[in-house]
Structure formats: C-alpha cells, structure tokens
C-alpha cells in the first residue's frame, strides 16, 4: 500500500507544526511520498510566505532594494530549521534566489521558492529523497499542464525512490523556466504524484477535518461529510466550497484513487473520503450546500422563440463576442435567461444588449442584478421524492423569493437563484430543513 500525503501551508507554518506532520507521516509506513506547501500563517496577524515572496519580487522587478524583505523570508525558514534542531543551511539557496530576483526570473519563479525551500527542509527532517518539481512536472508551450510527459518522467523518478518529498505548486516550461499552477495548486501536485506512483490513497492534510455540509461562516458547526463522490465535490467546488482545489480531482479520478481530506491538528478524525462512486448512503438527503453572490440575470423574451432554429446559439454568441462566460441558462417557451458574473458583465452590458438586439431581434431584454446562486448537491436526491418541494417550502417559510431554479438531468444538484440580500438566510433555511429538522 502506498499513500501520497500533501500538507497545506498552515500545517507547515512553524517547527511545532512540522513536528505534528512528522508524527503523522511516521505513524503509517504507507505514507511514502510527501507534497509540502509553503509556510502559511502562524497566527491571524501573520503573512503567508508566498505573499512575502510576491511582494519581495515586486520590489526586485521595480529595481528597488529587496534584500531586507528577502532576509525576513529566510528568518521564517531558519526559525523552522532551528526549532527542529536540523543541521541544515539555506544560505546558498538564498544567494541563488537573490541572483535570480536581480535577473528578473519571473513572479512564478519567486512564488515557487516557498514550496521549494519547505521541501528541502521536509526531506532533511524526514530523511527522504528531495525531488525538485521543476525536473518532473511539465507545462507545454501554451502554458497548459502536460499530463502525459509528467506522468512518464515522474513515474520513472518515483520508482527509483522508496520515499520522497516533491514540492507542490510548480513545474517547468519547455525552456526550463519555472511555472506555477493557480493558488492552492499544491493540491494538484499531490494528485499528480498519486497518479504517477499508482497510490492506493491520496491524503490531503489541512486545518479542517474534511468537507462540511455548509460554509461554517454561515452555519454554526455544520455537519461533516463522511463520504462524497468526485462529481458531488466538483459541483460544490465550482460553487465556492474551497477545501480542495477543484483541478486536483482530475488526475486521481481517472486513476480511481480516493482522496482523504484530513486535519493535521486532529489526526484521529476520519475526515472526508472522496471516491469515484459508493453504495454508502449519505447521512442526509443532501450531501452539501454551496453558493456564490454577484450574478446578473439577462432575460430575453421573444414570441415563438421555441420555433426559431438557432435562437439559443445566436443569443449565446452575443456573450461570446464580448468575452463573457455563462453560468446557467434556464429557459421557457418564449423566454431564455442567462446568468453571468456581475463583475464581468457591468462594464460590457450595453455592448451585450446591442449584440443581442442585432443577433436575435427580441421583444424584450430585461436585466436583474445582485443575485446569488446556491447549489444543493447530493447523490441521495435522485432516490428521494419531493426534494425540490422541500427546498421551496423552506425558502417560502423564510420569506425568501426564488428568482430561478435549475435542476440538472443527473438529478445530482439543484441550483437556486435568490437576491444577494437573501443569500445567507436561504442557505440557513435549506440546511435547517435537510439537516437540523429533517422535516
């Protein structure tokens, strides 16, 4: 059995946290490959090392003095090294970083040094082999992740190492320069490593005990999710749930490798198991609730719309021409509504309306702003009657007006549109009826 373990920034923010991580890794001999993030915040007033690196490099790029802030970053690492009583010096590494900053090696290079340096410390602390991600994770000429080359090279490299540390968040372009994934990309690295070594489990260790049914900033002490499918997690992640980077799902899903979200500060907790499919029934009809504010509904009315071939294509062309992505598109016989991000839309609304008029010749175009979208997700909804009715009932009881409802054909999720002002109350009402009272 082989496990890949990824640890987030808060899990590696200090020597004390490193010791917790070391105990977790040593407690299970199957935990052979480790993917560390850069040091996160030690307290609420602290700064993440990645943010310190971005700020430091910005000074270098402007030709300003950057050595003082760079030495503050070195102090963060030295405090971890000294706290762990390691015989390790990063002096040479920081000389190289200073030279590359001066040579303007790029913000991706700068940001990646957080994981790179933490990886060196982790490998030294555990006695594992250090593998620089820039030598085994690759991007193509267009900046897209090269999964095939990466899997081939990384698989061969890991086969040579019984245990290894592979820093998260970055890889290399075809010219050898460093390129990073988007923020939170260490989750993706862990997934890539798990696929490459054919792991039996990918453990993602963070500062929460798995996924929760709802956002704890809205619901007090929401129930944990014990088991969730990849499809359910994808829906929740897309709508704002942020325990795991949404792109981290794809490499392991294709390989059939489950993900276990665990808490570094509570290692005895089971956390959340993310799987391809399961016969286990969820504790509740729904698996989770997530949502986002800040949408605009663009309603296009036209008599006999349903008999006009290509109408939807022409309407969507108006948004495409103006570089605006579509979120949801519920429609009726003579009405079509398109939901888009308000921030994206506001600066281009008149251009879009003009394009819609030109392309579709509608009777009426109506805009409604300041809307929130809430996803109610759950594999249990398919086999349970009246789920949508219960949602409507809960929202009506809370005096919340539903502006839109859209259910996918898979019956895995129901999307509800409400005003931004009703967003939190709507989530509370839905959570209450499915989890608290279970009426």
Specify whether 258 is located in the same domain as 303.
no
Answer yes or no: is 280 within a domain.
Answer: no
Band the pLDDT of 241: cuts 50, 70, 90: low
pLDDT at 266 over 80: yes
Mutual orientation of helices 186-196 and 147-159 as an angle, nearest 10°? 60
Q: Which structure tokens are listed for 384? A: 């349970």
Specify whether 16 is located in the same domain as 134.
yes
- Residue partners of 53: CB distance under 8 A and separation at least 6: 38, 73, 110, 111, 113, 114
Specify whether 332 is located in the same domain as 260.
no
Specify whether 239 is located in the same domain as 312.
no
pLDDT at site 97? 97
Which of 47-61, 345-359, 370-384 is the least confident region? 370-384
pTM (2 d.p.):
0.83
Specify whether 252 is located in the same domain as 230.
yes
Q: What is the largest CA-CA distance in the chain?
A: 77
Read off the CATH number of the domain in which 9 is found: 3.40.1160.10
Answer yes or no: is 283 within a domain.
Answer: no
- Look over the chain and give the mean of its residue pLDDT values, rounded to a whole number: 92
pLDDT at 439 over 60: no
Answer yes or no: is 171 within a domain.
Answer: yes
Residue pair 213/286 in contact by the 8 Å Cβ criterion: yes
pLDDT at site 409? 62
Comparing C-alpha atoms, which of 125, 134, 215 is closest to residue 172?
134
Specify whether 214 is located in the same domain as 75.
yes
pLDDT at site 242? 67
pLDDT at 246 over 70: no
Q: Print the domain residue range for 351.
A: 288-436
- Tens digits of residue pLDDT in 111-167: 999 999 999 999 999 999 999 999 999 999 999 999 999 999 999 999 999 999 999
- Residue partners of 114: CB distance under 8 A and separation at least 6: 37, 38, 39, 48, 49, 50, 53, 169
SS3 letters across 112-151: HHHHHHHHHHHHHHHCCEECCHHHCCEECCCCCECHHHHH
Virtual torsion, Cα 259, 143, 117, 100, nearest 10 deg: 180
Whether the CA torsion 43, 44, 46, 49 is positive or negative: it is: positive
Specify whether 79 is located in the same domain as 215.
yes
Band the pLDDT of 432: cuts 50, 70, 90: very high
**Looking up tokens 């939170």, which residue turns up?**
184
Could you give the CA distance from residue 128 to residue 137 in angstroms, rounded to a whole number? 19
Read off the CATH number of the domain in which 306 is found: 3.30.2130.10
pLDDT at site 322? 94
Number of domains, the chain: 2
- Tens digits of residue pLDDT in 190-216: 999 999 999 999 999 988 888 889 998
* DSSP labels, 5-21: EEE-GGGGSSHHHHHHH
- The stretch 230-240 carries a mean pLDDT of 79
Band the pLDDT of 234: cuts 50, 70, 90: confident
Q: Coil, helix or strand for 291?
A: strand
Residue pair 61/104 in contact by the 8 Å Cβ criterion: yes
pLDDT at site 189? 94
pLDDT at site 410? 65
pLDDT at 349 over 90: yes
Answer yes or no: is 190 within a domain.
Answer: yes
Of the two residues 282 and 369, the one the predictor is more confident about is 369
- Tens digits of residue pLDDT in 304-334: 888 889 999 999 999 999 999 998 888 888 8
Answer yes or no: is 281 within a domain.
Answer: no
pLDDT at site 185? 79
Identify each DSSP E strand in 169-271 by its residue range. Answer: 170-172, 178-180, 201-206, 227-229, 259-263
**Looking up tokens 């539903």, which residue turns up?**
402
Q: What percent of the chain has pLDDT over 90?
A: 75
Domain boundary among 275, 302, 330: 275
- Tens digits of residue pLDDT in 7-46: 999 999 999 999 999 999 999 999 999 999 999 999 989 9
pLDDT at site 230? 85
pLDDT at 408 over 70: no
Q: Coil, helix or strand for 371?
A: strand
Residue pair 259/227 in contact by the 8 Å Cβ criterion: no
Domain boundary among 217, 244, 275: 275
Specify whether 157 is located in the same domain as 305.
no
Residue pair 131/166 in contact by the 8 Å Cβ criterion: yes
């Amino acid at each position: 059995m082989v496990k890949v373990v990824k640890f987030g920034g808060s899990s590696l923010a200090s020597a004390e946290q490193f010791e917790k991580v070391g105990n977790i890794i040593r407690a299970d001999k199957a935990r052979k490959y480790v993917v560390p993030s850069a040091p996160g915040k030690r307290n609420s007033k602290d700064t993440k090392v990645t943010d310190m690196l971005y700020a430091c490099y910005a000074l270098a790029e402007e030709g300003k003095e950057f050595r003082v802030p760079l030495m503050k970053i070195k102090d963060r690492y030295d405090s971890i090294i000294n706290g762990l009583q390691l015989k390790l010096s990063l002096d040479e590494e920081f000389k190289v970083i200073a030279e590359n900053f001066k040579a303007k090696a790029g913000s991706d290079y700068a940001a990646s040094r957080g994981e790179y340096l933490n990886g060196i410390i982790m490998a030294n602390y555990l006695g594992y082999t250090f593998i620089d991600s820039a030598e085994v994770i690759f991007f193509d000429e267009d900046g897209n992740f090269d999964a095939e080359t990466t899997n081939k090279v990384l698989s061969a490299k890991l086969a040579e190492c019984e245990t290894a540390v592979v820093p998260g968040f970055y890889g290399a372009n075809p010219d050898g320069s460093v390129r990073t994934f988007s923020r939170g990309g260490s989750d993706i690295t862990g997934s890539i490593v798990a696929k490459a070594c054919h792991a039996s489990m990918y453990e993602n260790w963070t500062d929460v005990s798995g996924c929760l049914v709802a956002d704890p900033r809205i619901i007090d002490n929401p129930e944990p999710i014990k088991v969730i499918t990849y499809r359910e997690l994808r829906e929740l992640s897309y709508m704002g749930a942020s325990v795991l980077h949404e792109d981290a799902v794809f490499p392991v899903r294709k390989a059939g490798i489950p993900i276990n979200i665990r808490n570094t500060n509570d290692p005895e907790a089971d956390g959340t198991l993310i799987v391809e499919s399961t016969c286990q029934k969820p504790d509740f009809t729904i698996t989770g609730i997530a949502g986002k504010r800040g949408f605009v509904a663009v309603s296009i009315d036209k008599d006999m719309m349903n008999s006009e071939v290509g109408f939807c294509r022409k309407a969507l062309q108006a948004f495409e021409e103006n570089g605006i992505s579509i979120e949801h598109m519920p429609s009726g016989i003579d009405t079509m509504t398109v939901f888009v991000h308000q921030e994206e839309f506001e600066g281009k609304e008149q251009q879009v309306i003009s394009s819609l008029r030109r392309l579709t010749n509608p009777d009426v175009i109506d805009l409604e702003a300041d809307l929130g979208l809430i996803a109610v997700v759950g594999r249990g909804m398919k086999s349970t009657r009246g789920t949508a009715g219960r949602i409507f009932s809960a929202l009506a009881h809370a005096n919340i007006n539903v502006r839109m409802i859209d259910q996918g054909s898979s019956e895995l999720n129901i999307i509800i549109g409400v005003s931004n002002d009703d967003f939190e109350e709507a989530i509370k009402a839905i959570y209450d009826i499915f989890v608290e009272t279970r009426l």
